[in-house]
Structure 1
């Protein structure tokens, strides 16, 4: 448990992301294309596409525009630079998986699309798990220790989309 809500919110999202990556890894290691006629297979593809679009990319953007710039302003840019570099590798993989998952959900996999999906999926799983571990061990504790109440509330409002526009 974290002392502030933004760290806890990001931690909860990390847990959901790891659970999804575990589902993806199990499907890929079966070495058989995901059966889109099966409700579990279709749900995995739909969950994967939705989570990458709605959660993962938004999570990355928030970290880069809000958290890493905050750390930059206090002279601690190394963690943000490192994690931003990792985001730059995962974004295209995530976007590729969204496209492949949506295409497969509509028409299934053929040999080539399954190979492309499983290769990109395995790479994303590997990168994402390590990335989340780094954020859990370094970024979230740093946030938990350094944010004052007002900054934490502003960040949480910004992240959850509840911030009111300045007049």
Structure 2
């Protein structure tokens, strides 16, 4: 089984690509605006969506990996990948939550205060860097490892469990 043929690998890959798209949008916003951007309905909606995605998707995705996939790797002695990705989750999740909180605060008030914008830019930039590198590792290591570990029935059950998280 390769990444392209595992159901759960395909779902995780699609999740990664959606996160990359979100992070690219964040990067564009940060690059275009050294000063706090003027709010309009489009920016307000985008920031609300960013916050929701970061709060829900990153946490759910990481939890799924930690509770459903990491044990499979540990069972066959693959502790290195679990340790590396787990440590990255512990760093990335709080960053994502902080960026989400800043986006929510700005959306609620209808603007970024200068200090809030500076924090959003700094934390957002760090989140982009860490999460993009993390996704690359998962695409190259975790998804390939999943393909080597799973039989078709395990793959189906994990794909169903992941799909259920996404509604």
Residue from 87, 90, 95 that aligns with 1:88? 90
Question: What is the deviation of 1:131?
Answer: 0.4
Structure 2 segments unaligned to the other structure (5+ residues): none
Deviations 1:99-151 (A, max 9, x none): 11111011110111001111110000000100001111111111123210111
Instruction: Tell me how many residue pairs correspond in the alignment.
Output: 161
Q: Runs of 4 or more off by more than 2 Å in structure 1?
A: none
1:105 equivalent in structure 2 = 107
Residue from 125, 128, 133 that aligns with 1:122? 125
Question: What is the deviation of 1:160?
Answer: 2.1
Native 8 Å contact 1:23 1:44 kept in 2: no
Question: What is the deviation of 1:40?
Answer: 2.8
1:138 equivalent in structure 2 = 141
1:165 equivalent in structure 2 = none
Calculate the TM-score normalised by the size of structure 1.
0.91
The alignment yields a C-alpha RMSD, in angstroms, of: 1.4
In the alignment, the residues of structure 2 paired with residue 93 and residue 34 of structure 1 have an alpha-carbon distance, to the nearest angstrom, of 21
Structure 1 segments unaligned to the other structure (5+ residues): 163-167
Considering fraction of residues, name the structure with more helix.
Answer: 2
Calculate the TM-score normalised by the size of structure 2.
0.91
